[in-house]
Chains A and B, each alone.
Chain A
Amino acid sequence: MNNMSILLTLICLLVSCETANYVPPVTPQMASTTRQHHVDLATLREGRTLLVHRCIECHTLPPLWRYSAEDWPEIVNSMSHRASLKPAEREAIIAYILAVRSMR
């Protein structure tokens, strides 16, 4: 019984960590929330792909709501050289993060 409780606790912990990890797929609704910034679906998709490939080379992904919308551009900029991001790629990541945040 004890082993079962430990196993269940571990599964709950992993599931809660997985939820924190959630990087949602791009939807048309996301693009509509960022329309005033002229961001299209393709840019958001590229931003998501780059986020899950480049950023995890050094660190795990934090929940996207941990930092404010004003802080994210500076956070991404500070690590863009280390992640070999071109300016357009950096902007795509920022656009994706801000679009996800605006959906909450």
Chain B
Amino acid sequence: MKKLPLLCVFILASWPLICFGGARHFTFLYEAPTSAPGSVELENTITWSRTTEDAHLDQVVFREELEIGITDHFQIGLYPLDWNYRGGSDGADGFNYDGGAVELIYNLTNPIVDPIGISLYEEIQAGRRHFESESKIIAQKNFGPLILDYNATLEAEWEEKGLNERNGELQQAIGASYEIVPRLSVGLELLHEFVFPEWKDHERIRNLFVGPNVAVRHGSWFVTVTALAQATNTADEPDVQVRTIFGIGF
């Protein structure tokens, strides 16, 4: 209890030092530039998805991230609250706490002055009967007002009792965003997934999602929204998913 006044003093003392991180042009892709050193930002990600093929299911996934710039090339993201709401015909409705996560992003090259901007990403997520590692290579090139972005992702997942169920997924995502004015960008995102249940490819599960995005930023906040529709015909995957990221300096 005695620590609370100390914490308040620390926050007030460091207030002038707290600045904001960057705005996002995409929601299903990460960008190569990392946050400025000393910057702190709160990002809320909400993803709604609807699956209708076998059973009707609406799911909303919430992620709260505290993004901290450490150096000009390195940032950390803390996700203390990952939770979701499920509602559907299987009767398993309600809220679930998924766990928390830590992400690290290291920037190697710049998308303006280097031939291509590259960053490396690692995220570790842990929850009840769930452990996940997500590794990415982020490649980006800026052509004036146009940003081209590519992410290659490898996900490894351990689930259920004793973490005995092991699954893998390979993803590649491509995005383009055009800045109409400094505060507004529009673009497209494409997500291509290769799912490996038990790290096997017997079922040959391939999913393709594609859709538009829009990003608006002003002062200390930004909002980016992407709507993706499934272009393949995989029964267990969402027909449509909409992701919104709202970021604000506090």
Contact = CB atoms under 8 A, between A and B. Distances in A.
* Dominant SS among interface residues on chain B: loop
B39 A17 contact: no
A82 B38 CA distance: 11
A62 interface: yes
Contacts of A18: 143-144
A54 B36 contact: yes
Nearest to A56: B33
A48 B222 CA distance: 26
B156 interface: no
Contacts of B179: 59-60
What class of interface size applies to chain B in its complex with A?
A: 20 to 34
Given A81-B19, A82-B20, A56 B145 contact: no
Contacts of B144: 16-21, 60-61, 63
What class of interface size applies to chain A in its complex with B?
A: 20 to 34
Nearest to B217: A58
Interface in A49-103: 52-54, 56-63, 81-85
Contact of A21 (B21, B69, B142): B142
Contacts of A16: 144
A23 B111 CA distance: 12
Given A58-B217, A82-B220, A84-B37, A52 B19 contact: no
Contacts of A60: 142, 144-147, 179
Contact of A57 (B22, B146, B219): B22
Interface string B62-77: 0000000100100000
B87 interface: no
A59 B217 contact: yes
Given A18-B143, A53-B110, 10 more contacts: A16-B144, A17-B143, A17-B145, A21-B112, A52-B112, A56-B22, A60-B144, A60-B147, A82-B19, A83-B36
Interface of B: 19-23, 33-39, 69, 72, 110-113, 142-147, 179, 182, 217, 219-220, 222, 249
